[in-house]
Amino acid sequence: MFKLERRRLGRTGYQVSILTIGGCGPGICPDAEMGVKAVQDAIARGLNMLDIAPSYGEAELRLGKLVRENRNKLVITEKTMERSREGAWRELKTSLERLGANYFDAYQFHAVGSLEELDAIFSDNGAMKAFLEAKDMGLIKHIGITAHKDMRVVMEALKRFDFDTILIPVTPISLVHPTPENDFRPLLKIARDRDVGVIAIKAVAKGRWDGEPHHYQTWYHPFDDEESMEVGMRFALSQEGVATYPMACDVRLWPKILKIGESFRRMSDEEQRKAVEYVKARGASPLFPEPAQ
């Protein structure tokens, strides 16, 4: 077994494992014990960052005991989809209580998908007010933002506030047909220039389910053969500035993800180009923009 690499999460200064415990997987796992066991195993194998949210099923309730037992080992990045000051405060307090934590290492605006949402966040009674108040009180250490479908929204967000972390899709399927919505490269350059910590999601995505039966609990269709998963993960973790990849929303995929992460080797520029060609040949397509109906 290889030792899992750690990287600096931007200006936060945290040294985090290149694989993150994605709270979604254990939170929505039909077997609660199986989900908790998967997290226990991940911690034992050196993963030291937990990305979690109230919207991840029962994640906060199921993992509270583990968090309390391992708080000094974990970097916890929590999220909220609330956009108002009152809503964000309410959800932050609930999340802290459920996880038995005194503070979160980063608190993130979750799944911001439009400029209208940004306007709400930054309004006079917006959630940013709660974030800044909570930071002043020591309840959160850093402020982040996450997005799934439009990189331009994150770029605009970075014009309005100096975020410490961003969580975005970084995957070769985005470059099969790059568009302003899904092309992560300009955003990564901004992050590097400003020392923003980058958390890369969707590394093992193949595309949308496209009407076929869902074999996994991920909302997207994942690659599940080890070769393709390795291509996606190595590609994502080879992008300059990317610190870590949160594991997929189905714990059945975690053993392969852990194996690949433990033997990670950085891709050359030529290997990255070939990775895009590889996933394209496998029938992969970008998750966003959404196909026309």
Q: 84-133 pLDDT, tens per residue?
A: 999 999 999 999 999 999 999 999 999 999 999 999 999 999 999 999 99
Q: Please report whether residue 201 resides in a domain.
A: yes
- State the CATH number of the domain containing residue 268: 3.20.20.100
Which runs of consecutive H residues, i.e. helices, occur in 59-180? 59-70, 85-99, 115-121, 127-136, 151-160
d(CA 144, CA 59): 20
Range with the poorest average pLDDT among 112-116, 164-168, 238-242, 287-291: 287-291
Tell me whether residue 113 is in a domain.
yes
- With residue 222 as reference, give the H or E element that holds it: strand 221-222
Q: What is the pLDDT of residue 141?
A: 98
Write the burial class of residue 270 (CB in 10 Å: 0-12 exposed, 13-18 middle, 19+ buried). Answer: exposed
Per residue in 157-178, is it b (16+ CB within 10 Å) or e — as a string?
Answer: bbeebebbbbbbbbbbbbbbee
Residue 1: is its pLDDT beyond 90?
A: no
Q: Answer yes or no: is 164 within a domain.
A: yes
Sign of the four-CA dihedral 7, 8, 14, 20: negative
Residue 126 forms part of a structural domain: yes
Q: How many domains does the chain have?
A: 1
List pLDDT tens digits, range 39-67: 999 999 999 999 999 999 999 999 999 99
Cβ–Cβ under 8 Å, residues 128 and 93: no
Indicate whether 29 belongs to any domain. Answer: yes
The answer to the question of residue 293 being in a domain is: no
**Average pLDDT of every residue of the chain:** 97
- Beta-carbon-side half-sphere exposure of residue 128 (alpha carbons within 13 Å): 16
Q: Cβ contacts of residue 26 below 8 Å, gap of 6+?
A: 32, 35, 36, 38, 39, 59, 62, 63, 251
Which pLDDT tens digit goes with each residue over 125-158? 999 999 999 999 999 999 999 999 999 999 999 9
Residue 1 falls inside a structural domain: no
Residue 27 lies in a domain: yes
As a whole-number percent, the residues of the chain with pLDDT over 90 amount to: 97
Q: How confident is the model at residue 211, as a pLDDT?
A: 86
Residue 191 has pLDDT above 90, yes or no: yes
Instruction: Tell me the mean pLDDT in the region 166-188.
Output: 98
**Which range of residues forms the domain containing residue 120?**
13-281
